[in-house]
């Protein structure tokens, strides 16, 4: 191949511009090839890209939600059978164990003190106090109160007891409670059961303390295994 010298400056300038345009076309082709190779290696960075406001065509991954993800519901009155068992008299107190049985088809849970109201034969109603300890059942409060989870058919318990002898200068106790109106912790519903204590052969006493306050009360919800049998 022969190269011909060009003596005319205008001709030299035209030739130079032609070479420059050819070089630019070569660089553009090289850059395009490199970009195509990069797209082949990094698929997620290339391909069809949406505009900033467009929705993605790939749905976001979701985790399965458990039915109990929000926690187990508290046991309510309508889901429970409430009765009194293991009654008797011991160490100056008479009482028994309130039994709360899950009568529903779902798991529920209980904790804290139930609401118990003693009612006499004349209709006088007294809210039983929240006990901190009892001689009957040898129960004492420990913070925080346990949470008892009940599967269908399972039961939780609370001690209900009262002094069965008059205190101070009193010679007799007021008329006993013949009925108990019981609500599980945190529920406004209630059921009424007999306050008769077969093991003590008496109704739940309504005896007062030496200070004149009712002694009858109920413990927090607990398991039967934590109480004497």
Q: Of 207, 221, 75, nearest to 139 (Cα)?
A: 221
CA angle, 75 as apex, 69 and 79 as ends, to 5°? 120
Residue ranges per structural domain of the chain: 9-45, 77-226
State how far the Cα of 174 lies from the Cα of 119, in Å rounded to an integer: 12
| CA 170 vs CA 122, 124, 208, 217: distances in Å | 21, 20, 9, 20
> Any idea what the Cα angle at residue 128 is, between residues 123 and 132, rounded to 5°?
170
* pTM of the complete model: 0.69
CB of 77 within 8 A of CB of 69?
Answer: no
| CA–CA separation, 193 and 178 (whole Å) | 9
Give, as one character, the DSSP assignment of residue 188: -
Q: What is the pLDDT along the chain (229 residues), one digit of tens a residue?
A: 444 444 444 444 444 444 445 444 444 444 444 344 433 433 333 333 333 333 332 233 322 322 333 489 999 999 999 999 999 999 899 999 999 999 999 999 999 999 999 999 999 999 999 999 998 989 999 999 999 999 999 999 999 999 999 998 888 999 999 999 999 999 999 999 999 999 999 999 999 999 999 999 999 999 999 998 7
Note the pLDDT of residue 53: 31
Residues 45 and 215: their CA atoms lie apart, in Å, by 77
């Amino acid at each position: 191949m022969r190269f011909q010298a060009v003596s005319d400056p205008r001709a030299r300038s035209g030739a130079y511009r032609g070479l420059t345009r050819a070089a630019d076309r070569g660089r553009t082709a090289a850059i395009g090839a490199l970009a195509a190779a990069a797209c082949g290696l990094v698929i997620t960075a290339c391909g069809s890209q949406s505009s900033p406001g467009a929705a993605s065509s790939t749905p976001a991954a979701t985790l399965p939600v458990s039915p109990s993800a929000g926690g187990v519901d508290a046991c309510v009155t309508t889901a429970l059978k409430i009765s009194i068992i293991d009654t008797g008299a011991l160490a100056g107190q008479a009482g028994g164990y309130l039994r709360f049985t899950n009568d529903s088809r779902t798991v529920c849970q209980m904790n804290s003190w139930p609401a118990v109201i003693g009612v006499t034969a004349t209709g006088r109603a007294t809210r039983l106090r929240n006990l901190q300890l009892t001689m009957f059942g040898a129960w004492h409060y420990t913070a925080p109160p346990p949470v008892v989870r009940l599967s269908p058919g399972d039961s939780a318990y609370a001690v209900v007891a009262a002094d069965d002898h008059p205190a101070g200068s009193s010679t007799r106790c007021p008329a006993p409670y013949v009925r108990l109106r019981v609500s599980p912790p945190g529920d406004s519903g209630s059921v009424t059961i007999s306050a008769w204590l077969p093991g003590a052969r008496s109704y739940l006493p309504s005896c007062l303390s030496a200070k004149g306050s009712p002694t009858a009360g109920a413990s927090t919800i607990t398991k039967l295994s934590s109480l004497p049998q």
